[in-house]
Copies of this chain bind each other. A is one copy, B any other.
Amino acid sequence: MKILHTADWHIGKKLAGFELLADQEAVFEHLVAVAKKEQVDAIIIAGDLYDRAMPSEAATAVVNRMLLRLNRELGYPLLVVSGNHDSAVRLNTGRDWYQSTQLYLNTRLDQAFSPVTLGDTQFFLLPYFEPVMARQYFDDDSLTNIAKAMVPVIAKMQTMFAADKKHVLVGHFFAAGSEHSDSETRVNVGGLDAVAVSDLTPFDYVALGHLHNRHALKAEKIQYSGALLKYSVSEVAQAKGVYILDTQTMTRKFMALAPKYEVQHLTDRFAHLADPDYYQSLDREAYTAITLTDTQVIPNVMASLRAIFPRVISLDRAHGVRLAKTPQVQAAKLGPLPLLADFYQVTTGTALTAQQKTWAKQALAASQQEV
């Protein structure tokens, strides 16, 4: 059997204020094309379908369309768990009807103990859960973190193993040894909540979501698929895509998915970036983080860069900014009008006109009367 493994769609996520819904719909079409080309038998979505527990109507409509497309239009069985970014309660809507077309969706811990059997494999769909849920379910107060909670979870799953089947765990958690990137929530990604890779050995394969880097874990049979898109600058170098898992051999291959717009990080002098001979050789449509190596003040720097790179997502300096003529100590000693004139000069590159000076004086006088 061939299974497509994806996770961390984060539908509705914005990147530095830029709406990504159109990007997410575009890359989803590439995912569909891969599923068709590879003739997969089912699709795993390992959590974080949504970016927020309270998704917008637009994000809700997109996720609904995607599930409808994959499951009802294309007929793929789906193996889905909720992640920490999803509202388990909201995502659960419709769950009991979805199974009529082999859309298997788990959002609660107790649901994870009814494995789904497809072909040669039993799939255990374990949603993201809080330790308190395991304490309640097992009536065991000692389960104070996910690492501890996973021990009885896995033990219980093992009692359901069919001897003649392979056993695959689908989950959304932090497995020990993983590295992580900026776009994951820091909450609960720490040593105490890391699940030990050694505890996962009962499974023939573990298909995970949560970490956005598919190389986050060095364990042959335990894999993060990575996110659908690059959701932070720290992921610039990470190719995004899906795994195609062969359950016969429990081996996988990675299929990259091309994004509508790339994410890139440029570190350079402003003059170089603003040089048409140079910037025309770059991917100007990409979501672009810029680190300037200049140290002087550059008037209208953001507006100038956005005119060249319409999707600037961050701007910083490699070596700070040197304010040679007006250090803060000196600025505090100037009166309001010289300070304003100086600021205008620095930011626009020209001096105040006589008329502007008159207006500035009047405005300052009026504001002082109000006090």
Which residue numbers of A lie inside 8 Å of B, CB to CB? Answer: 53-54, 57, 60-61, 64, 68, 72, 87, 89-90, 92-98, 100-101, 103
Contacts and interface: CB of A to CB of B under 8 A. Distances in A.
Nearest to A57: B89
Nearest to A59: B89
Main SS of chain A's interface residues? helix
Nearest to A90: B60
A96 B97 CA distance: 9
26 contacts: A53-B57, A54-B54, A57-B87, A57-B89, A57-B90, A60-B89, A60-B90, A60-B93, A61-B89, A61-B92, A64-B89, A64-B92, A64-B93, A72-B96, A93-B93, A93-B94, A94-B94, A94-B95, A94-B97, A94-B98, A97-B98, A97-B100, A97-B101, A97-B103, A100-B100, A100-B101
Contacts of A93: 60, 64, 93-94
A89 B72 CA distance: 18
A98 B103 CA distance: 13
Nearest to A71: B97
Q: Point out which of A53, A95, A96 has the most chain B C-beta atoms below 10 A from its C-beta.
A: A96
A95 to B, nearest CB: 8
Given A60-B89, A93-B94, 4 more contacts: A53-B57, A57-B89, A72-B96, A97-B100
Contacts of A97: 72, 94, 97-98, 100-101, 103
A141 to B, nearest CB: 26
A293 B98 CA distance: 58
A68 B61 CA distance: 22
Q: Point out which of A90, A92, A94 has the most chain B C-beta atoms below 10 A from its C-beta.
A: A94
Contacts of A95: 94
Contacts of A60: 89-90, 93
B96 A68 contact: yes
A128 to B, nearest CB: 15
A64 B107 CA distance: 14
Nearest to A64: B93
Nearest to A99: B97
Nearest to A101: B97
A53 to B, nearest CB: 8
A74 to B, nearest CB: 13
A72 B87 CA distance: 23
Nearest to A98: B97
Q: Point out which of A57, A93, A96, A97 has the most chain B C-beta atoms below 10 A from its C-beta.
A: A97
